[in-house]
Amino acid sequence: MVECLIDRLGQYSFLEDSSKTLKADGKHIWADIQKASTLLKIQNDEIAALKSELEQTKYQSAIYRDEHQRMEEVAISNVDTAEEIYYAREKLRAAHEELELQKEYLHLLSITDPLTGTFNRRYINEELNKEISRETGSLSFLMMDIDHFKTVNDSYGHDAGDLALKSFTKLCEDTVTVEHSLGRLGGEEFAILLPGCGVIEAAVIGENIRKKTQDLVVDDGKNHFSFTISIGVSELLEGDISGSSVSIRADKALYRAKNTGRNQVIICDEIATR
């Protein structure tokens, strides 16, 4: 448009020089306009690219923010879960320990005589068989019975009889060592398992218990009374495969002790006659 205007002005002679000047200047102006237009377009493209990049950045920021928030929530949840797992494990451990204690307690009850607190028949029989299976050497067995215990109960009452049983138990516990096992078989009958003891040594221990028993005086707060004990002694013999063989021989020796005067220690015939 500018070029057409300059050409038309050039038709007039008095404007010929001026038209030449304008024409030259117009070309420069047009070049400048084209350059400015190109720069403006480039600038617009850059602005558009920046806007797009800004939008993308905003989008990525939103994604990052959401992801960060989600990770925080997961982390908090994991902390809560970890604490729950920890406390659950602690409760489980405590419950397991309590269960083990209960099992121990129940086992102890199953092998303990409730009146005297010493071992019971079940424990003595189990330990006797265990000792035989170990084959560790000498093993002796004392079977003991309080003489005329029914008379004690009839004369002084069952509470006095219970006190007599407890007093005898303590006397035996103070006499034997920790390697020996004392047990109440039932009623007024007791037994002592003596690992590592030969029959002679076992008879000496039995005699020591017998003497201490006859010197014992029981005081129940109302009466003073004494009692004696009969003891049968046996030991493990070659060919014995179970505890019953040993205990049967001791029981026979006890029977002889009671039938031949009581208050004495008798070694079983199978050993005494060797």
Residue 121: is its pLDDT beyond 90?
yes
Give the model's pLDDT for residue 27: 63
Cα–Cα distances in angstroms (integers) from residue 54 to residues 44, 46, 69, in the given order: 15, 12, 22
Give the model's pLDDT for residue 129: 94
Q: Which stretches of 91-248 are assigned E, i.e. beta strand?
A: 119-120, 139-146, 181-186, 189-195, 218-219, 224-225, 229-235
Give the model's pLDDT for residue 241: 87
Mean pLDDT of 144-157: 96
pTM: 0.67
Residue 86: is its pLDDT beyond 90?
no
Give the model's pLDDT for residue 25: 57
| pLDDT band at residue 216 under the 50/70/90 scheme | very high
The dihedral of CA 86, 89, 93, 99: what is its sign? positive
Please report, rounded to a whole number, the percentage of residues in the chain having pLDDT higher than 70: 79
Q: Which stretches of 41-198 are assigned E, i.e. beta strand?
A: 119-120, 139-146, 181-186, 189-195
CB 184 within 8 A of CB 120: yes
Residues 6+ apart with CB under 8 A from 242: 129, 132
Mean pLDDT of 90-109: 83
- In whole numbers, what is the pLDDT of the chain averaged over residues? 84
Catalytic residues: 188
Give the model's pLDDT for residue 165: 98
Give the model's pLDDT for residue 145: 98
CB 64 within 8 A of CB 56: no
Q: Picking from 141-145, 213-217, 221-225, 238-242, which range would have the lowest pLDDT averaged per residue?
A: 238-242
CB 142 within 8 A of CB 194: yes
Residue 12: is its pLDDT beyond 90?
no
Give the model's pLDDT for residue 5: 45
Which structure tokens are listed for 235? 């030991």
Q: Tell me which of 83 and 154 has the higher pLDDT.
A: 154
Which structure tokens are listed for 97? 């320990």
- Taking the C-alpha atoms of residue 271 and residue 99, their distance in angstroms, rounded to an integer, is 47
Residue 169: is its pLDDT beyond 70?
yes
